Structure 1
Amino acid sequence: MSPEQRLQALLDGDGENEIVEFKEARRAFDFGKLGRYFSALSNEASLKGNDSAWLVFGVRDDHKVVGTHFRDNHRALQSLKKEVADKTTNRHTFTDIHDVEHPAGRVLLMEIPAAPQGIPVSWEGHYFGRDGASLGPLSLDEIERIRNQNRVCDWSAGICEGATLDDLDPEAISLARREFTTKNPRLANQINEWDDRTFLNKAKITIQGQVTRTAILLLGKQEASHFLNPATPILTWILKDRDGIEKDYEHFSCPLLVNANQAYRKIRNLKYRYIAEGSLFPEEVDQYDPFVIREPLNNAIAHQDYQLGGKITVIEFEDNRLCFSNPGSFIPGTVEKVIHSDAPESRYRNPFLAEAMVNLNMIDTIGSGIRKMFVTQKNRFFPLPEYQLDEGRVQVTITGRVLDLDYARKLAELPALSLNDIILLDRVQKRKPLSAEQIRHLKQQGLIEGRRPNLHISATVARKSGDKADYIRNRGFDDKHYRQLICEYIGQFGQAKRADIDRLLLDKLPDVLDEQQKANKIRNLLQSLKYQGLIEVEGKTWRMSKP
């Protein structure tokens, strides 16, 4: 198809979409914006299975050709390819730029190749995509979909050519046997009879005696880490003071089954003493529950993207925070999705490695690890884990102290609060934004006060403070009381319209109900009295039923 035919096909099409963009660009166009469109269109072409996408200058959104003078010098136009390549992933650039003379004016038809399989295209380090014709950041899920396009095999299951069982650490193999026995007690007698080759095959660490990347990563001698190049099996612990100044550090490499435990021991798990609060709080606890250290640490090992060549870091801050970070996107997409589904993920970045770590008692696949971290922190009245999912990394921050005393009191006084409500309260104490609906939900339950953005957690709870009036307003009365009020009103005045009943009851219903819920409750009360034969409706007027 000639450039002229291609242009006409685009003009005759349905208009702008994920892989077609029209711009007037009569004389100039911002170069940075052009680059963002290039990234977005290239990525979307890859996601849709198309060979290319099109950026067209000199055409309005309504398909009318208006012409463009953008880089009407041939040399300047051709230099655009290099300028774009200088700022994109792997110097990705236009397949071709066609200068088309249309009767209504000059049109530039820029053909953008789809992102290479497995490699999303970034512009100045950022990935862009499109929702319909709208430009925006490429979602983590879409980035992962592109990266997975060429993953016909699992990196962690790859065989390390030239490696033998002699490249594995005897101490690590011994520990692996103990952990595998702990995980599979019914096989204890058999495990003792297996030689190393049999054991490693059974534990799914090697494949038919061949040494895998997983085997080197978890059990390999430090000098055997070169088998994983260019991946870097490094776990770094860093201690920083309250000002963020580095005070100490240590690097840990293979075998990570052993050395992850060494990194765990570097973390100073000091005692935390609660402010005296009667019997609400325990007197003294460890700053960090062992589970909330091991879970993000082992998850980082299991789920990082080793092909990116980064490393795992564990930063310990002297202001009672731990920060775990590893390369790779968060495959589930959002933490909220993981918590609410509370189920195993359907896919893993390193399935062979993940299964081996399950067999060695390092992680589990029941999908409850993150949720358990949240519940553990909640039970200690500490802030919830905070996830930062951007720039191709997963970062988890654990706080080992009470951040907001009112938040801690709330959790102690209301142990039945749902995890969803606790997550919202945690956002309040961390000064994170909430939607109007979330704010309304928390206020209806009396959990927060103030106005956006100056929201704060309520300092008291009615049942604890003795504020019985507020408690009754939130709890309300039973339905029998409301039905009696309706009957007394109609009996005294002979009739009542719905507006009369609303004025009678609205301020008496629980404050935790929103307007729609109150309206529904009044309707249900009236219908209940009608079914009991106590009142009847004529048009829009309620009367006592005739005897």
Structure 2
Amino acid sequence: MTEYITNLVQELVNEPNEQEWLEFKENYHSAEEIGERISALANGACLCDKRYGYLIFGVKDSDQSIVGTHFDPKKQKAKGNEDLEFWLSSRLSPRIDFKIYDVDVNSKKVIVFEIPATSHTPVTFLHEPYIRVGSYTKKLKDYPEKAKKIWQSMSTDWSAEICQDATIEDLDPTAITKARQLFIRKNPRLADEAPHWDDVTFLNKARLTIKGKITNTAIVLLGLPESAHFINPAVAQITWILKSADGVEKDYEHFYTPFLLAVDEVYHKIRNLKYRYLISGTLFPEEVDQYDPYIIREALSNAIAHQDYRLGGRITIVEKEDSTLTFQNYGNFLPVSIENVILSDSPEQKYRNTFLVNAMMQLNLIDTIGSGIRRMFLKQREKFFPMPDYDLENNRVQVKITGKVLNMDYARKLAELPDLSLSNIIALDQVQKNLPIQDADAVDLRKKSLIEGRKPNYCISANVAEQTDLQAEYLDMRGLDDQHYQGLILQYLRKFKHAKRADFEKLLIDKLPQILDDDQRKHRVRNLLQKMRKDGLVEAKGLTWYLKKS
């Protein structure tokens, strides 16, 4: 957790300025000031669709530099000599589970208040709600339009809306029976009582209906296929597609409501072939499923729970014969980032479909403690498979699962490297895939001698390459010393007397590091020539290059 908070601080100080959900302070002034800030930041996070608001001590608000603080919230007393945290909690309404972290960042003490976003009800301090306006804390009553948005934040939950003409007859009896079984499994204390409930009582208890009225959630999870018209123009459909390695469609199938039954149908449709490791031994099992059953169900359940049904799109699952499985649902990703979800390992404070999420939790379809995505990463790590790839662009969430080891020797040796945290492995996995990583991750990996290169063109270091028998691949990715490339240029000019820069690009383009794109390689050639000219090795006449005459 300390590593997560430290990285979070580094990320937040890089924000362009303070915001409705973010405030920096150098030192403590008063308990009342903190109470007002907590109210304002909880309300501001709600308005900005943020999971948390943050009040950070030890950072200058003028330039957001980390200067450290003497503030110790554990020792600080409020009025009446009460402990500060208890004093604040008892004066906030509704009570929110804010957390206080004490971390060292760049050898300076920083205090972080992590404040959950409110929902439906503005948070008040001493009976007064506050809000952030720019870099100032103001009373919410002076900004009625902002207060209205907070009060309406729950009412925009599509999954809680009532299907006015739908009745219990529009729900699938088999799905209701299965829902009962899952509910009792989730709530064993009700095992004796629940079987005696009639369907209306059960559906209310399981939070699928509201006072007997059929909700969009009830139609999505339990509705007969023909009842989907009640949620028009929303679409409740899951499509499985099988493609060849080169992307040619080979098979497909559509699945409809009730999604409670469709989850199993989709799961059994996915081929999930056995994967055999090339080298047997104690480190690797001889045969495993390409895709862990937990990962399939978690990814599919997340897609159902967080789909923005109002957009009219369908949930898709693409299984490719290159050993990848990709899940996609529509709607932006509400948490700060995938990394924060994984490293914080804590429950979400805000959901798009709150009513649907609660119902799925009651039926044991998802876990709201926040560990689902993290567990997916850990499952991949156990097999030494690549980490899940998340793409959050274009108002949809796409996660690709790879069901094989990309390099056996690399996976084996990397598993033996000591002291690699999950965040290290995730960042290193990104480097292997030529994807960007956070600056804080790069600093950590560089300290451990795991990567080399300059941002954004990091590559696996020679140390790791040597331990993983990937020396040739390392040189291919990292490239050779400049002297080697200069020698090729000099050799060319000695033989052909003169050359254009395009000639040198043709000479070197395939020899420069793979991690560079074509434009970066051309830039590297230009820099080499300029350096050689400064060193007196070559000279240019117009656009033509020659050996420098001595």
User: TM over 0.5, yes or no?
Assistant: yes
Change (3 A) 1:421 1:277: farther
- The match for 1:444 among 444, 447, 467 is 447
* Separation in 2, partners of 1:187, 1:435: 47
Aligned residue identity for 1:342: D
Q: Which structure 2 segments of 5+ residues have no match? A: 1-16, 19-46, 49-133, 136-147, 470-550
Cα 1:436/1:199, change in 2 over 3 Å: closer
What displacement does 1:461 show? 9.2
Relative to structure 2, which stretch is displaced further, 437-446 or 382-391?
437-446
Q: Is the 8 A contact 1:231 1:308 kept in 2?
A: yes
Task: Give the CA deviation at 1:150.
Answer: 7.0
1:270 corresponds to which residue? 273
Equivalent position SS for 2:242? strand
Local SS of the residue matching 1:310: coil
TM-score normalised according to structure 2 size = 0.55
Percentage of pairs with the same residue:
57
In structure 2, what is the equivalent of residue 217 of structure 1?
A: 220
**Structure 2 counterpart SS, 1:173:** helix
Is the partner of 1:182 in helix, strand or coil? helix
SS of residue paired to 1:252: strand
Once the two structures are TM-superposed, the CA of residue 350 in structure 1 deviates from its matched residue by 0.7
Change (3 A) 1:287 1:306: same
| Alpha-carbon distance between aligned partners in 1 of 2:298 and 2:384, rounded to the nearest angstrom | 19
Helix, strand or coil for the counterpart of 2:349? coil
How many Å separate the matches in 2 of 1:162 and 1:202?
A: 21
Distance 1:247 1:319 in 2: 13
TM-align CA RMSD: 3.0
Q: Which amino acid aligns with 1:215?
A: A
> How do 1:18-57 residues align onto structure 2 when only pairs under 5 Å count?
none
Which residue of 416, 419, 423 maps to 1:420? 423
Q: Assess if the C-alpha contact under 8 Å between 2:413 and 2:468 holds in 1.
A: no
Match of 1:55 in 2: none
* Structure-to-structure mapping, 1:115-154, within 5 angstroms: 152-154=155-157
Residue 299 of structure 2: which of 293, 296, 300 is its match?
296
Does the CA contact (< 8 Å) of 1:157 and 1:213 recur in 2?
yes
Match of 1:236 in 2: 239
Deviation at 1:390, TM superposition (A): 1.0
- 1:140 maps to none
Within the candidate set 171, 174, 177, 1:171 is matched to 174
Aligned to 1:307: 310
Q: CA deviation at 1:414?
A: 3.3
Distance in 2 of aligned mates of 1:299 and 1:163: 26
| Other structure's SS at 1:314 match | strand
Deviation at 1:439, TM superposition (A): 4.1
Matched, 1:455 2:450: no
Alignment of 1:13-412 (within 5 A): 152-276=155-279, 278-412=281-415
Q: Deviations over 1:240-297 (max 9, x none)?
A: 1001011111111110000121011111111111121643222211111111111110
Letter of the aligned partner of 1:187 in structure 2? L
DSSP 3-state at the match of 1:390: coil
Q: Render the CA deviation track for 1:68-96: whole Å, top value 9, x for unaligned.
A: xxxxxxxxxxxxxxxxxxxxxxxxxxxxx
The answer as to whether partners of 2:222 and 2:259 remain within 8 angstroms in 1 is yes
Q: Which residue type is aligned with residue 241 of structure 2? A: I
Question: CA–CA distance in 2 between the matches of 1:309 and 1:222?
Answer: 17
When the two structures are superposed, what TM-score results if normalisation uses the length of structure 1? 0.56
Deviations 1:134-175 (A, max 9, x none): xxxxxxxxxxx9999776342111111111111000110111
Partners in 2 of 1:407 and 1:318 — Cα distance?
A: 23
Gaps of 5+ in 1: 1-16, 19-45, 48-130, 133-144, 466-547
- Partner residue of 2:122? none
Query: How far apart, in 2, do the equivalents of 1:261 and 1:457 lie?
Result: 44
Instruction: Tell me, yes or no, if the aligned pair for 1:234 and 1:311 is still in contact at 8 Å.
Output: yes
Secondary structure in 1 matching 2:192: helix
CA contact (8 A) 1:403 1:429 kept: no
For 2:263 and 2:214, how far apart are their aligned partners in 1?
21
Structure 1 residues 331 and 341, CA, compared in 2 at 3 Å: closer, same or farther?
A: same
SS of the aligned residue for 1:244 comes to coil
Shift of 1:416: 4.5
For the Cα contact (< 8 Å) 1:169–1:220, is it kept in 2? yes
Note the C-alpha offset of 1:428: 1.8
Please give the alpha-carbon distance, in whole angstroms, between the structure 2 residues aligned to 1:200 and 1:439. Answer: 50
Residues 394-415 of structure 1: CA distance to partner in whole angstroms, max 9, x if unpaired?
Answer: 1111111112335412442136
Partners in 2 of 1:440 and 1:277 — Cα distance? 36
Amino acid aligned to 2:276: R
Moved more, 249-258 or 412-421: 412-421
Residues 408-417 or 206-215, more deviating? 408-417
Q: In structure 1, what is the Cα distance between the partners aligned to 2:293 and 2:270? A: 10
1:401 maps to amino acid: K
Counterpart Cα distance in 2 of 1:459 and 1:284 = 31
| Distance in 1 separating the partners of 2:186 and 2:210 | 20
> Aligned in 2, Cα 1:438/1:401: closer, same or farther, shift over 3 Å?
same
Could you report, residue by residue, the CA deviation over 1:393-450 in whole angstroms, capped at 9, with x for unpaired residues? 0111111111233541244213642011011111122121346664453243243467
Give 1:463 shift. 9.7
CA distance in structure 2 between the aligned counterparts of 1:455 and 1:170, rounded to whole angstroms: 56
Secondary structure of the structure 1 residue equivalent to 2:365: coil
Q: Distance in 2 between matches of 1:153 and 1:431?
A: 40
- Residue 312 of structure 1: how far off its partner (Å): 0.4
Contact in 1 for aligned 2:242/2:252 (Cα 8 Å): yes
In structure 2, distance between residues paired with 1:444 and 1:425 = 13
| C-alpha distance in structure 1 between counterparts of 2:254 and 2:320, whole Å | 17
Q: Deviations over 1:462-521 (max 9, x none)?
A: 9999xxxxxxxxxxxxxxxxxxxxxxxxxxxxxxxxxxxxxxxxxxxxxxxxxxxxxxxx
The structure-2 alpha-carbon separation of the partners of 1:351 and 1:192, relative to structure 1 and needing over 3 Å to count, comes to same
Structure-2 separation of matches of 1:313 and 1:147: 33
Distance in 2 between residues matched to 1:456 and 1:170, nearest whole Å: 56
Is residue 436 of structure 2 the alignment partner of residue 433 of structure 1? yes
Once residues 229 and 222 of structure 2 are traced to their aligned partners in structure 1, the CA distance between those partners, rounded to angstroms, is 14
* Aligned match of 2:33: none
Distance 1:196 1:458, change over 3 A: farther
Q: CA deviation at 1:196?
A: 1.0
How many residues are treated as equivalent by the alignment? 328
Mark the CA change 1:464 to 1:218 in structure 2 (over 3 Å): closer, same or farther: closer
